Structure 1
Amino acid sequence: MTEAKNIDEQASFSAPIEDLQVRIAFLDDLVEQLDAEVARQGADIADLKKQMQLLYQRVDSSDRSDGIASFDPSNDRPPHY
């Protein structure tokens, strides 16, 4: 009788442990997916920063005598005023 009781106790302990192991496996997979996504987004952000720097350099180095007049909001009024 004690042997049957021990088997029942082991069965009652093994089911929750197996459930926890399954949950841990899913969480490990989720963490790996999130890590890959964060790494991809970090690379995208770095690429966008480089593009913005290039655009700023082009704007700064552009010659303002190309027909684009500078605009001073305190002195220049739009035509609809």
Structure 2
Amino acid sequence: MTKQPYDDDQASFSAPIEDLQVRIAFLDDLVDQLNQQMALQTQEIAILKKQMQLLYQRVESADLSEGIAPFDPLTNRPPHY
């Protein structure tokens, strides 16, 4: 019994279609992983922004003028001079 041309055509089309389906499944999984990573990084950035705001508030509220002597280049020389 010989194969009909229809069967050969169908077999030749099914292999590339299966390859495309595998690639699509892989890409779907990759997109989901990237989405999860993006969500985690977005949360981390929000936390870091809040921490930076708190640090800025601390620096602004601190009175830095007290306890800091003015710099005098003649008396405050580095040891290698």
Q: Which TM-score applies when normalising by structure 2?
A: 0.79
Structure 1: gaps spanning 5 or more residues: none
Hey, what does 1:79 align to over in structure 2? 77
Provide the aligned C-alpha RMSD in A: 2.3
Q: Which residues in structure 2 correspond to 1:25-36 (within 5 Å)?
A: 25-36=25-36
- What amino acid is the match of 2:42? G
TM-aligned CA deviation for residue 79 of structure 1: 2.1
**Counterpart residue type for residue 44 of structure 1:** E
Runs of 4 or more consecutive aligned structure 1 residues displaced over 6 Å after TM superposition: none
Pair 1:9 & 2:21 matched: no
Aligned positions, number: 76
1:53 corresponds to which residue? 53
Structure 1, residues 4-52: CA drift from partner, whole Å, max 9, x if none?
2101110100110010000000001001100110111111111111101
1:13 match: secondary structure: helix
Does residue 42 of structure 2 align to residue 42 of structure 1?
Answer: yes
Higher RCO (C-alpha under 8 Å, 6+ residues apart): 1
- 2:22: which partner in 1? 22
Q: Normalization by structure 1: what TM-score?
A: 0.79
